[in-house]
Amino acid sequence: MKCPYCGHEKTRVIDTSHDLRGGTRRRRVCDTCDQRFSSYERPILSTPLLIKRDNTREEFSREKLLAGLRVACYKRPIAAADIERIVGEVEAELQQLGRAEVKSRFVGDLVISKLKELDEVAYIRYAIVYLRLDDLESIRGEIDHLLSE
């Protein structure tokens, strides 16, 4: 692996750890400049195509999901690691399905259930877009339902 500091090609691995999703974190040191850095490897597994509401197909985009969650969690006391964790869990569940296509509703349901556990305000923000809550009555109904639980 190339050193990000000096660009030299020779680096050594000094520590390796694994996470639950099959990723590998390697702590490295450059043989030339002695700087230390980490690299993260994760397997590239295929995710199914998403069937949208209008029956068009779209590839699952980790970045698109991450952006949507960041908007929902904006100015909330939610760590970036928690948002990344949700995206990783959703992506892993999709990969484990082993199917070629999945309805986008399935992904939305996964995300909304995880957000509900994490932060209720972020859940409502996401639900407004995902569940198409386009008037105050429907938003109030969802909030009342959340409060009654």
CA atoms within 13 A on the CB side of 87: 16
Decide if 28 contacts 38 (C-beta within 8 A).
yes
Q: For the chain, give the percent of residues with pLDDT over 90.
A: 69
83 CB neighbour count, 10 Å cutoff: 20
Decide if 72 contacts 125 (C-beta within 8 A).
yes
- Per-residue pLDDT tens over the stretch 54-89: 999 999 999 999 999 999 999 999 999 999 999 999
CA–CA distance, 80 with 47 (Å, rounded to integer): 23
40-44, long-range: CB < 8 A, 24+ apart: none
Please state the domain extents for the chain. 11-41, 49-148
- Per-residue pLDDT tens over the stretch 20-58: 667 899 999 999 999 999 998 877 778 899 999 999 999
